[in-house]
Amino acid sequence: MEFSFYGSPPDACMQGFSERLSQALVGAGHVQGPQQQAKLILSFVDQDRPRPFRRRAQATYVIALLRLQESPEDILRGAYAWMIRSLANLMIAVVGDERNPKTYFITLERGYYETKAPYESERHMQELVERLTPLAASHLIVDNVFDPDLEEDLWGGGREIDQLDRAGKTLDGWGVLPTPFPIEEILPPDEWRHVQLLFQLGGLSYGNLSMRHDARRFWMSASGVDKSHLREVGKDVQMVKTFDPDVKAMRLSQPPGIKGRRVSVDAIEHHIIYREHPDVGAIIHVHAWMDGVRSTEINYPCGTIELAQAVAEAVREADDPAQAVVGLKNHGLTITGRDLDDIMERVDGRIVSRVPMA
């Protein structure tokens, strides 16, 4: 994998950190090269004059490198906005005295965790590389193809949309669907337009839910919408037909004449599970947790085929794939059910909003 740095280290601590990280990446077999062709960009955060690295392709993985000389009371609150401003997929924050700072990973899922190895140790950089490499090498499936071929009797939604809306309201009442993050309020207008164009984003929100319509299709919440108000077909909820491997995109059916909103990035994961398990009638994904669940081993980004395959494997190995609860490391839960009511009844009172980080 080719990597490159963007911007300049803000102090001697970050200069030394970047040199050690570069050596560790090269030692692991990666190559440092020009920014234009790098798969991994390590972007220094300039807190005085923020200048994000603007990707030319979705496949470019950006890690923001933030230096905080004083440790804030809340690491997440102190660092998260800088990650958004950096247009980054992930952040590494180096915090505290330069003689022995702490290193944190900050995730888009509004979580964070501290690295385990001592800062000056060789193992510290090895740990960073081991965590970064699979994430940067993952493959996003976030494009959509909108086909205006949805049957007319489904344009108004009906009973199935009512069920999704009711389930979304229940999840919201449990406090496991955080308020959509106002990304457009943090990014300057030109950077927000760039993100929308590159990733077809309508907004940033958390969690999703879906339900089977027939043997091959399923309804799913759209990207960036309020999950407690799922009413309009093509805008709040989309009908997912299939995954098209030729164009690496999800194909959606919608009413003709409307500008459709992209389906949730986790559609590829739901697609695999529905195709493999005919008894699965509904799936929810929440940024929450339950005790005793099996978890995936790598915290792949949302919308990647690698995350979808890891979750699908865990569902496959569950005692009953139609009633599985799978933990996504440092992320949340994917829960299958025979229908939405089945899921809600099984998890009611057992689900907690805080996801453990490791």
Q: What is the per-residue pLDDT across 63-114, written as a single tens digit (0 to 9) for each?
A: 999 999 998 888 887 888 888 888 888 999 999 988 889 999 988 777 789 9
Please choose, from the candidates 60, 79, 67, the residue with its C-alpha nearest in 3D space to the C-alpha of residue 11: 67
Residue 269 has a pLDDT of 97
- Averaged confidence pLDDT in the chain: 90
Residue 189 has a pLDDT of 73
Q: What is the DSSP string of 14-35?
A: HHHHHHHHHHHHHHTT-EE--G
Query: How do beta strands 282-286 and 208-212 pair?
Result: antiparallel
Residue 183 has a pLDDT of 60
pLDDT band at 1 (very low <50, low <70, confident <90, very high): very high
Query: How do beta strands 143-147 and 249-253 pair?
Result: parallel
Residue 184 has a pLDDT of 60
Asked if residue 135 has pLDDT above 70, the reply is yes
Tokens describing residue 149: 């071929």
CATH superfamily of 2-136: CoaB-like (3.40.50.10300)
CATH superfamily of 143-347: Class II aldolase/adducin N-terminal domain (3.40.225.10)
List where CATH 3.40.225.10 sits in the chain.
Answer: 143-347
Residue 357 has a pLDDT of 82
Q: What percent of the chain has pLDDT over 70?
A: 93
List where CATH 3.40.50.10300 sits in the chain.
Answer: 2-136
Tokens describing residue 113: 């965790």
Helix (H) or strand (E) holding 42: strand 40-44
